[in-house]
Structures are given as C-alpha cells and as structure tokens.
Structure 1
C-alpha cells in the first residue's frame, strides 16, 4: 500500500515536471525514463497548477510597482513583464507572432504555412506584437495584483 502511494506521488511529480518543461522555461531535471509520452499525455491536468507560478510573479511585481512610487513604477512594471515573458510566455508569444504573419498575409495556403514555419519576423508580427506588448503593459499598470494572479491561472484553461 505504502509503495503504491509513493509510486503514484512520484508519477504525479514527474507529470508536473513534464508540464513545467512544456509550458515554461524553468529547468526540469527529472528523468522520465521510457514512459515520457505518458507523462506528457497526462500533463494537461497540471496546466492550472503551473499557472500559479506566473500568476504569483505578476501579482508580486504588480504589488511592487504599486508600492514603488511614481518614479519607479514604470521600471518595476517593465522588469516584471520582462521576467514573466522570459520564463513563462516568450515561447507562446513567438507562436502568436508567427500566427499574425501567416494568417494576415494575403497569399496562398502553402505560402502562409511556409511563413509560419520560418523564423523570420514579418511586418504583421512587428506591428501586432508591439501593439500586444503596449496593451499588456498598460493593463499591467492599471489592474490590481489579485487580477494578475487569477488571470494567469484562468488563462491556462484556454488550452484545454
């Protein structure tokens, strides 16, 4: 009984680690062995759990920005967004930019797929990526820390 419980906890920890390595840039040093496909298949149940990490970071940085005073608010906000994007959102932001380049381009279906698969940044990606960052920056400055926390957690539901 005890071994079965310990094995179940170990498998859940490996699945959580697989989810962390899938959704974030946080280092994950767990050896999945030959059963790594099963771990990734079960990983969606931990998506909201992983959402607590960026939620805590964004809420803490928003709280810091609120208490830093007018002089440092923009610096703390920019730092919080930079760290948050680096560890949690940069990979997904890159995919969003590729989607803008591909879907907004007025060319054939094959050409759109080629544009999305390349690593080049096009004009649509630059424009809408800049617009996205500016809107996110302004929202970050104008919401309460609790909103930053819960929006990050609930945002992980959208992929399910």
Structure 2
C-alpha cells in the first residue's frame, strides 16, 4: 500500500519518492491513490492561498495557488491538455489525430486550450468567497484525478502497441472503487450533503468528456488522461461557483 502510494506520488508530481523500477502490477495498483495525491496537492495549494490571503493578497494569491499546483506536477496534465487539443481539434482522421498528439511540438489549438483553461481557473477562483475558495482548491485536484482513474478503468487504450497508458489499463474495479471513496469522503467532508450535488455534476461531466474523446479516438491515451483531469478540475470550480451564486452552497 505504501509503495503504491509513493509510486503514485512520484508519477503525478516532481517529488522523487519512488526510485525503483516499478512493475506493471505496481503501476496499475498505484492508480487507486491518484485522488489522494490530488488531495495532498490541493491542501498545499489551499495553504498557499490561505497564507497569502492573510497577507492581504487577493488575485495574486489565487494565481500563486494555481502556479503551486503546476510546479508540483511539472505541468504534466497541462501538457496532456495541449497535446489533446492539438489532436482533437485538428479536423483530421483518427490516425492522424493520434500522430499529432504524439508530436512534442505544441500547435495553436494547444496554446489556446491551455490559455483558456488557466484564465478560467483564475477567474472562477477570484469570484469565490474566501472560505469556498479554500475548500474548492482542496477538492478540484481530487476530482480531476478521480476522473483520470475513471478514464483509465472505463475505456480502452487508443494506440496500438505498448506505452505507459497501456500499462495503466490493467487497473480495474478495485482502483476505481478506492478512488471513488476518496472523492466522496473529501467532497462530503468539505461541503456536507450538498457535496452529493457536486459529485453528481463531476460524474456527468467526466462521462461526457471521456465519452467524447473515446468517440473521436477509439479510446484514451496518456495525454487524454491529463486533459480529462484538467477539464474536470475547472468544471469542479465552476460548479462550486454556480452553487455560491445560486445560494446552494
């Protein structure tokens, strides 16, 4: 259990806490802990925001909270978002889309996608009250990484042959169960019974996003896992903002 957690932490962040060569089984088991890694990242990000807010910063505190997350993850998921946008929005056939996504160069669609996502994250966070902002920063990365586990366990791998994404496909029901428990416990702890509304919104969005990607590519890839996580993060923030504006939260 501890080794699987350390492996997940090492894989999803820049922290080198697992230096051994991991087996296929270990990589698959580590998927269970993706939302827990998201929780740790969220707590750090929220902590940064809290401290800077106490110093009198507002928008700067929000931006630095987001930057903290990007630095700790090495921009891994944003890179996946850019590659996915370049491929899916290219207008090409399935095979060509996968080729474009594999290209290390970033195209115009990728730049636009990452710019829009970051701008929306900052705007949505800025509009939240301070208390909701802190709890949202904790929940969003948990939701994003749960969605990654959902994508890994729900859909086939799109590319022929091997690859890390194909290895992760060996994760199964136990991984999504553990990941879902982490999401539910976190959401209910932070938002009470209203958290079930947020969970429902996250589930619907995850189904729609991954279903659309699967339809376009015939499966998922490592890049689309990262893109799914980023999109669900921003969706979670938006849902909580709408809950604030309508008085539900």
Query: With structure 1 as the length reference, what TM-score do the two structures score?
Result: 0.79
Determine which of 27, 31, 35 is the counterpart of 1:40.
Answer: 27
1:63 and 2:55 aligned = no
1:154 and 2:139 aligned = no
Number of residue equivalences: 145
1:27 and 2:16 aligned = yes
Larger radius of gyration: 1
Cα separation, 1, equivalents of 2:77 and 2:104: 14
Task: Please give the root-mean-square deviation of Cα atoms over the aligned residues, in Å.
Answer: 2.0
Q: How far apart are residue 155 of structure 1 and its match?
A: 2.6
Equivalent residues of 1:100, 1:125 under 8 A apart: yes
Q: How far apart are residue 14 of structure 1 and its match?
A: 1.1
Which residue matches 1:145? 134
Q: How far apart are residue 42 of structure 1 and its match?
A: 0.9
SS in 2 for 1:59: helix
Q: Which blocks of at least 5 consecutive residues in structure 2 are unaligned?
A: 150-249
Query: With structure 2 as the length reference, what TM-score do the two structures score?
Result: 0.53
Deviations 1:37-88 (A, max 9, x none): 222121122122212211102211232343232xx32333322221211212
Determine which of 107, 110, 133 is the counterpart of 2:95.
Answer: 110
